[in-house]
Structure 1
Amino acid sequence: MATSPTDPEALATALQAAYVQTPVTLAQWLPILPVALCLGTGALLLILRERIRLQPFVAIGALFLLVLIDLALVAEVAAHGPLTVMMGRWVAPFGIAFSVDLTGALMALTAGVVALACGIYGLVDINTSGRRYGFYPMLMTLMAGVSGAFLTGDIFNLYVWFEVLLISSFGLLILGSEREQIDGALKYAVLNLIATTLFLITIGFLYAGFGTLNMADIARKADSLGKTMPLITLATLFSLAFLMKAAAFPLNFWLPAAYHTPRIVVGALFAALLTKVGIYSLIRVLVMLLPVEREVLSFPLAIIAALTMVLGAIGAIGQSDLRRLMGFIVIAGIGYMLAGIAIGAVQGVSAGLFYALQSMLSMAALYLATGLAGRIAGSYRLDAMGGIYAKAPGFAFVTLALFFAASGLPPFSGFWPKVMLLKAALDIGAWWLAAAILMSGFLITIALARVFLLAFWRSAPEATAEQTGPAPAPVTAPITASIFAPILGLAAIIVALGLFPERLVSLTQDAAVGLIDPRPYIHSVFPNEPPGPNSEADRPAAADPSQEPAP
């Protein structure tokens, strides 16, 4: 049995070991660099608030550097296992910890790519007024919150980073001060504040029972405390809070009511990142910290997943506004991720992670493509759109590829996680969940085929329907590189992941193994703990990710 962290001798030994006598390598700084970079750049942009022409280039340069740092972080964690950095002179489980495993590193990298694409797109989509009111500083602060949520090793600091990204998102949502934006922001704020409050209350209950907020410490204590604590209650409360933030059924009404109101680049950021932070938190808590309780909740989660994906797809078919339609596509995608969590095991969790990563890319690309389509057509309403293929055939071809990816059609990135989910569902006998996955994919295909036929393929109608929300400015000049390049770049990644999925499948399987068997994660925080079979210290050969980890 490990020595109690409250033992004075153990604390003295741990504190002595915490004094690093050797030079610190760059790799040891990687877990905190994304957050430090984003916060520092946000502060610099506030200093440069009078030089609004310079702000985009500073932010885009910082976001490019963020992607490089996240790439290095993924490579380091994939090669050597989880990394942990403790702030100040504190030792675990006390103090603030940044603990990064493969799941957090992959999510942070994908978020960085999305933010870079949106920063470039903002060169055109955000006007002088939007820059003056702080689009780029709020973008960097949002990325600090998102990166912090993916990289933190402390569940209270997960709440803190939620608050950081929410504060930034409120500012981004009302950028422009349109009446519809204020209305959408009110719905968004009320439900998210309720979810955040529930999250904080549940953290209080957890601390009262565990006496710690460090995730690694919670993971190693859960088995022993499960006999004396109502952990199923904690798991249910956490699930409710995160499902509200992820816009799962029946608490998803706020998303299509809010995400169509801001500037398109803001909608792309929200669709790609904010709901995925909720899904990531649910995976972290249920799969790694409370796995027994996840098993108990698996059937209700599967029902919620099926209803979310099917009703989201049906909602997309019924929409006449392209931005609202994309909101329902986001909701349907949440259902697939929840299905992976409900199925569990390596197959289900890895499929859910794969889908989450590709959904971050594809939803950002779809929202940005929606913005450009609205600019070309002069409207976001399907009954007023048309003729886009004749005006911009290259753009129409790229958008069609994005539609295929969102529908889960081969050979694009959305196909492989759906196949993995289908196999995992059938392996456990959940044929009804497999049927829901197929039905949702079919309905999404119909919804997006309708969009392509009405908005892209047919000739432009003569009359223009009345708009709601900020109307796009029709394109009167050739499509510029700054507005098309991010869409093309994201589409290229999506196609590449569809044609060559092996590496991402391998990484997500390794990430799922690390969540289900968190001993390497715990060892990175508590070096005296056994490292486990997936750490570099005890891994003579690569583990088979298709097999269940030993109990």
Structure 2
Amino acid sequence: MSNLVILPIIIPFIIGAILLMFAKHHKVQRIISGISMIILLALAIYLAIYAYQHGTLVLELGNWSAPFGIVLVADLLSTFMVLLATLVGAVCLFFAFKTINSDREKYYFYPLYFFLLIGVNGAFLTGDLFNLFVFFEVMLIASYGLIVHGGTGYQLRESFKYVIINVFASGLFIVAIAWIYSITGTMNMAHIGERVAELDQAGALNVVAVLLFIVFASKGALFPLYFWLPKSYFGPPAAIAALFGGLLTKVGIYAIIRTFTVIFNHDPGFTHKGIIVTIAGFTMLFGVLGAVSQFDFKRILSYHIISQVGYMVMGLGIFTPLAMAGAIYYIAHHMIVKTALFLFAGVTEKITGTTDLKKMGGLLGSHPALAWMFFITAVSLAGIPPLSGFFSKFPIILAGFEEGQYVISGVALLVGLLTLFSMMKIFSYAFWGKQKHTEEQANIPIGKLLLPVVPLVVLTIILGFAAEPIFTYSLDVAEQIMDPSNYIESVLKE
């Protein structure tokens, strides 16, 4: 069964290579991509269920045992993230079938899409710190191609910041890896976690922890390293913006959660309750203030990515099972809802020809299904019960008050209120009021565009109404990752 762990990496690699051969045959590319993504989604669901029922799966590549060889690890957290990534990838791909024009398809859109999934799934499943770097680079190289796909002047200009900060972060990543190898003599994350528990070098380890946190914070768009995100995500087509908005920053958040539970758990008073909690508070606050100040549909959503990742990191910083369970729950909620919102932004732009809220209005009258689907996901993002946003935020804030973290808990409540304000601003400008688009635009059919997004809207409702079993699962994930011995013993077979 352990051989299944490599399939979420191998399948996108094979499909991406095959699609390179059919670059000029768009219909063939769509058929191959669609079937492959459905297979990937079924595999991700099976892996998540298997890991929950039977425990962690470990694959030793080349039959070299850990810590000497490279391992892939499918525990509750990694399989959960692979499932969410594949779900987001499938929805955005089927949306792209209806929106990506042929000029963009012929420039290797589909191969780049699957190569991106190689890096994402590999980052979630690897048990080796250096290979985490490798998979990050695979993901980033593919994302560089996708973020400039279409080659507009705006895309090329704004994506330059995205490339530069990630190149800088990658260089810092190598420095941090070299430093931790000099301290522990290993790259295997489970082995590093075991060595850290035995070493009396808290000062040096804290420095490495801060370096790695900076690396992952730049990729996860945490304060103050988020400046590249809003304009970079504004330029690409809706399918790509939704894929990036729902997925890419979560890879950085996953890396922070994994390393600061397995490896850097020796001084939580400094790393978690000090640095991480503080950064989470500033991230939430500055992100939501950026969203409130905007009058553009996509830019408001982009700034909300920043504020929302703050909640995830806040759960890690509080560092209790309740807070971590809330963070896990929140990751699922955010990936689903944020992807849907970006796709809705793409649909409204197709109708009106703009994302400027001041030039929009009356979509509720001409396209009521779009309006009410947006409304459900918008209030879910803001944390209104009984949707998923409320039940994922509640345990994080409750844990904050229980642990005496009153300031950041208050900030989290304020951010939720401002999030509601900014989302209702979108609804009131774009969907309410007098119709500003023409009758020809009002008659544009959008049923086929909304169809791929329906599962995401349904899921945010299910995640709210089925909060108890979902939270129980999240708590199981949290308890497993907060006890590093589970991960270490599974990988090293102690």
TM-score, structure 2 normalization: 0.97
Pick from 231, 245, 250 the counterpart of residue 224 of structure 2: 250
Q: Which residue of structure 2 lines up, in the alignment, with residue 477 of structure 1? A: 444
Equivalent residue in structure 1 for 2:300, among 308, 325, 331: 325
| CA distances 1:134-184 after superposition (whole Å, capped 9, x unpaired) | 111111111111000001111111111100000000000111110000011
CA distance in structure 1 between the aligned counterparts of 2:307 and 2:248, rounded to whole angstroms? 15
Give the match for residue 506 of structure 1: 472
Matched residues in 2 for 1:89 and 1:440: separation?
49
CA distance in 2, matches of 1:325, 1:135: 26
1:237 aligns with 2:211: yes
- 5 Å-filtered alignment, 1:128-147, equals 128-147=102-121
Q: Bigger radius of gyration, 1 or 2?
A: 1
1:191 to 157, 160, 165: 165
Q: Which residue of 2 aligns with 1:368?
A: 343
8, 13, 18: which one aligns with 1:44: 18
1:526 aligns with 2:485: no
Q: Percent same amino acid among aligned pairs? A: 33
Q: Distance in 2 between matches of 1:52 and 1:512?
A: 43
CA distance in 2, matches of 1:250, 1:202: 20
Q: Deviations over 1:98-133 (max 9, x none)?
A: 011101110110010000000000012210011101
What secondary structure is seen at the aligned counterpart in 2 of 1:252? coil
Tell me what 2:326 maps to: 351
Distance in 2 (alpha carbons) for counterparts of 1:283 and 1:508: 14
Residues 144-155 of structure 1 mapped to structure 2, 5 A cutoff: 144-155=118-129
Alignment partner, residue 278 of structure 1: 252
8 Å CA contact retained: 1:268, 1:367:
yes
> How many angstroms apart in 2 are the aligned matches of 1:57 and 1:114?
18
Taking the aligned partners of 1:126 and 1:230, their CA distance within structure 2 comes to 49
Deviation of residue 293 (structure 1)? 3.3
2:395 is equivalent to residue 420 of structure 1: yes
Partner-residue secondary structure (3-state), 1:98: strand
Task: Classify the secondary structure of the residue corresponding to 2:151.
Answer: coil
Structure 2 CA distance, aligned partners of 1:55 and 1:183? Answer: 29
User: 2: distance between equivalents of 1:379 and 1:421?
Assistant: 37
Q: CA deviation at 1:523?
A: 2.3
SS at match of 2:63: coil
TM-aligned CA deviation for residue 462 of structure 1 = 7.0
Cα distance change on mapping 1:224 and 1:267 into 2, 3 Å? same
Mapping for residues 106-505 of structure 1, pairs under 5 Å: 106-227=80-201, 230-297=204-271, 298-461=273-436, 477-481=444-448, 483-505=449-471
Tell me if the contact between 2:312 and 2:328 (Cα under 8 Å) persists in the aligned partners: yes
Residue equivalent to 1:76: 50
**Normalising by the residue count of structure 1, what TM-score does the alignment of the two structures yield?**
0.87
Q: Deviations over 1:62-101 (max 9, x none)?
A: 1111111111111111111111001113111112110111
3-state DSSP of counterpart to 1:354: helix
Question: For 1:254-307, what per-residue CA distance to the aligned partner results, in whole angstroms no more than 9, with x for missing partners?
Answer: 101211011111111111111100000000111221112343122222121111
> 2:150 aligns to what SS in structure 1?
coil
For residues 223-268 of structure 1, what are the alpha-carbon distances to aligned partners after superposition, in whole Å with 9 as ceiling and x for unaligned? 1124476111111111111111111111111101211011111111
Change (3 A) 1:71 1:429: same
- Are the counterparts in 2 of residues 286 and 293 from structure 1 also a CA contact under 8 Å? no
* Kept in 1: contact 2:361–2:437 (CA 8 A): no
Shift in alpha-carbon separation, 1:184–1:279, aligned structure 2, 3 A: same
Structure 1 residues 148, 299: closer, same or farther in 2, change over 3 A? same
Give the secondary structure class of the aligned counterpart of 1:32. Answer: helix
Unaligned runs of 5+ in 1: 1-26, 464-472, 530-551
1:331-361 alpha-carbon deviations (Å, 9 max, x no partner):
1101101111110021121111111121111
SS at match of 1:219: helix
One-letter amino acid of the counterpart of residue 478, structure 2 = A
Specify the alignment match of 1:516 in structure 2.
Answer: 482
Contact 1:252–1:331 (CA under 8 A) maintained in structure 2? yes
User: Is the contact made by 2:360 and 2:437 (CA closer than 8 Å) also made in structure 1?
Assistant: no
In 2, Cα distance between equivalents of 1:500 and 1:228: 43
| Distance in structure 1 (CA, Å) of the matches to 2:16 and 2:459 | 28
Q: Where does structure 2 lack aligned partners over 5 or more consecutive residues?
A: none
Offset of residue 397 of structure 1? 0.7
RMSD of aligned C-alpha atoms?
Answer: 1.5
Q: CA deviation at 1:524?
A: 2.1
Residue 190 of structure 2 contacts residue 262 of structure 2 at CA under 8 Å; is this kept in 1? no
Decide whether aligned partners of structure 1 residues 55 and 307 sit closer, same or farther in structure 2, where only a CA change above 3 A counts. Answer: same
Measure, in 1, the Cα distance between the counterparts of 2:72 and 2:327.
24
Aligned equivalents of 2:200 and 2:325: distance in 1?
26
Distance 1:499 1:292 in 2: 38
Distance 2:469 2:52 in 1: 12
Match of 1:532 in 2: none
Q: Residue 415 of structure 1 aligns to a residue in which SS?
A: helix
Aligned partner of 2:76 in structure 1 is 102
CA distance in 1: counterparts of 2:16 and 2:266, whole angstroms = 41
Higher helix share: 2
Shift of 1:31: 1.0
Contact 1:215 1:289 in 2 (8 A): yes
Q: Is the 8 A contact 1:52 1:128 kept in 2?
A: yes
Q: How many residues align?
A: 492
* One-letter amino acid of the structure 2 residue matched with residue 411 of structure 1: P
Stretches (4+) displaced over 4 A: 473-476
Q: Which amino acid letter does the alignment assign opposite residue 92 of structure 1?
A: A
Q: CA deviation at 1:459?
A: 1.4
Would the aligned equivalents of 1:385 and 1:461 in 2 still touch at CA under 8 Å?
A: yes
AA at the equivalent of 2:6: I
Alignment partners' CA distance in 2, 1:136 and 1:417: 33
Secondary structure of the 1:291 match is coil
Structure 1 contact 310–332 (Cα < 8 Å) conserved:
yes
Q: How far apart are residue 441 of structure 1 and its match?
A: 0.3
- 1:475 Cα deviation after fit: 7.2
2:34 corresponding residue in structure 1: 60
Q: Distance in 2 between matches of 1:173 and 1:356?
A: 23
